[in-house]
Structure formats: C-alpha cells, structure tokens
C-alpha cells in the first residue's frame, strides 16, 4: 500500500497549485481542468487539485494525494476530481511520465469537433508527433475502465486529444507540463487560423526533429514557465498562494 513518505510536501503542492493558476490565467484551464504530479519520493502516489477547488484561487492545501494502485484518495479531506481516472491510468501505464495536465482548451477541442487531427505546425508544438492520437468519444472519463481506454489511446505519445472534450498532456516535470499544455493550445490556434485561409503546412521529418530538440531544452521550458509566472504575478493571479 502506498504511503506518504514525507507529508505534507507543501513546496511541491504549492508548485502544482501555482501551475494550475498559471494555466488558468493563460486561458487554457477553465473550470474543470487539473494538473497531477507523481510524488517525487513515492512513484505510487500522485498529487492533484481537488474537485471543488477553484482553479483561480486554489492553494497548496487543495492539492490532494491519491494512491495510484487503488485509486483511493489518501487521508481525509476534499476528494479528487471525477476525471482522476485519466491521471491514474496514464501514470500507471507510463513510468516515464511525472506530470499530467487534463484540460478543455478551445482550439484543440474545436479542431477535434471538426474532425481535424492536431499536427505540429509551429515550433512551439515541436514536441507533438506528426499526427496526435485522438480518443473518439466526447464523454467524461469518470470510471477506472474509461481511464484505461485513455491510457491505451495515448500509448507512448506525449499528448492525446479527446474529441469534443479536451486534451491529456504528459511531461517529465510540472514546469514542462505547463509549457506543453499552453504551447499545445497555441499550436492548435495557429493550425485553426491557417485552416481558415488554406491548407496548413505540417512540420515533419527532420524539421520536426529539430523543432522538438529546440522546444524541449530545459532553458526553453524554464523560460516559458517564467514568462507565464510573471504574467500571472503581474495580474494578481497568484495572490494568496503562499
Ligand atoms: Zn475533462
């Protein structure tokens, strides 16, 4: 049974709360999105923003632990979100993944409703595969069985689009999942706008290899995180966090 090796992990929980607020401030979180991180000391535990916590006002206290083996919320307090099954199944299927964001961004969802595959069309989307996999079902992922279907559809990809619903973004750190989530939606917006004018040109082959290498550099990930942190800070979106 998974246990908490060094509760309460205030700093790590605060980073997740900060990240939720920053993604929300960037317009990509909406009311029901979530960010989950694998416990740095216990790979069988994840931390996720609670179901009821407001995405613009949450704090470290609203980031709750879940046992990845049983799916149960560890300890007392607010429950995990109804779509916690996405995170549990993906963390269990992908030991390489340390952070996951599930959210419902406008352009990614609009492209999926129109039957368009999400492609890398701008270097900010350089971490995407040439064709992003899609889960062809618009309903909530609110059971363990549906969580398993998401993990299967994702496979080894970094991102899964959920048709008419949202996106699942995986990463190797909390900072990286913020960069990927916001950049994924930026890329989708470029693809959407380009589609209104003509046929979008997809970044592929060697060009995509170079784009992926450049966008995934730690210094670039850090720069994106800092940019969004400063924007959120200046707008007062991080007040009362710590
Ligand atoms: Zn959802």
pLDDT tens digits, one per residue of 13-43:
999 999 999 999 999 998 899 999 999 999 9
For residue 168, the CA-to-ligand 1 centroid distance in Å is 9
CA–centroid distance, residue 144 to ligand 1 (Å): 14
In the prediction, which pLDDT does 8 show?
A: 67
Residues 6+ apart with CB under 8 A from 193: none
> CA-CA distance, 56 to 68, in Å (whole number)?
26
Mark the residues whose beta carbon lies below 5 A from ion ligand 1: 83, 166
Distance 9 CA to ligand 1 centre (A): 27
**What's the 81 CA to ligand 1 centre distance in angstroms?**
10
pLDDT at 30: 86
- Reported as a pLDDT band with limits 50, 70 and 90, residue 9 is confident
Express as a percent the part of the chain with pLDDT over 90.
Answer: 95
Residues 112, 163: Cα–Cα separation, whole Å: 5
Distance (angstroms) between ligand 1 centre and the Cα of 213 equals: 30
pLDDT tens column, 65-119: 999 999 999 999 999 999 999 999 999 999 999 999 999 999 999 999 999 999 9
pLDDT tens digits for range 192-215: 999 999 999 999 999 999 999 999
Q: Which of 5-14, 46-55, 119-128, 136-145 has the lowest mean pLDDT?
A: 5-14
Distance of CA 124 from the midpoint of ligand 1 (Å): 23
> Burial code of 8-41, b = ≥16 C-beta within 10 A, e = fewer?
ebeebbbbbbbbbbbbbbbebbeeebbbbbbbee
CA 141 – ligand 1 centroid, Å:
7
At residue 20, the pLDDT reads 98
Beta strand pairing call for 34-38 and 166-171: unpaired
CA atoms within 13 A on the CB side of 125: 24
Q: Is the pLDDT of residue 160 over 90?
A: yes
How many A from CA of 106 to the centre of ligand 1? Answer: 13
- The mean pLDDT of the chain is 95
Q: What is the pLDDT of residue 242?
A: 78
pTM of this prediction exceeds 0.85 = yes
Cα–ligand 1 centroid distance for 110 (angstroms): 14
- 46, 66 Cβ separation under 8 angstroms: yes
């Amino acid at each position: 049974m998974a246990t908490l090796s060094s509760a309460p992990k205030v700093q790590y929980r605060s980073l997740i709360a900060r990240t939720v607020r920053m993604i929300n401030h960037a317009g990509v979180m909406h009311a029901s999105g979530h960010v989950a991180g694998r416990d740095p000391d216990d790979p069988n535990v994840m931390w996720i923003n609670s179901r009821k916590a407001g995405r613009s006002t949450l704090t470290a206290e609203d980031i709750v632990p879940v046992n990845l083996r049983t799916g149960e919320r560890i300890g007392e307090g607010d429950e995990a979100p109804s779509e916690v099954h996405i995170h549990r199944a993906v963390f269990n299927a992908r030991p390489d993944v340390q952070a996951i964001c599930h959210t419902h961004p406008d352009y990614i969802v609009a492209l999926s409703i129109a039957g368009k595959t999400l492609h890398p069309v701008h270097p900010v989307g350089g971490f995407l595969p040439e064709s992003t996999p899609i889960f062809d079902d618009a309903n909530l992922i609110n059971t363990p069985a549906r969580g398993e279907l998401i993990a299967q559809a994702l496979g080894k990809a970094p991102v899964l689009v959920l048709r008419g619903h949202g996106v699942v973004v995986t990463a190797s750190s909390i900072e990286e999942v913020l960069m990927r989530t916001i950049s994924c939606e930026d890329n989708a917006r470029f693809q959407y706008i380009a589609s209104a004018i003509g046929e979008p040109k997809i970044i592929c082959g060697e060009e995509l290899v170079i784009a992926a290498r450049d966008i995934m550099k730690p210094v670039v990930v850090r720069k994106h995180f800092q940019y969004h942190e400063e924007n959120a800070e200046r707008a007062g979106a991080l007040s009362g966090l710590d």
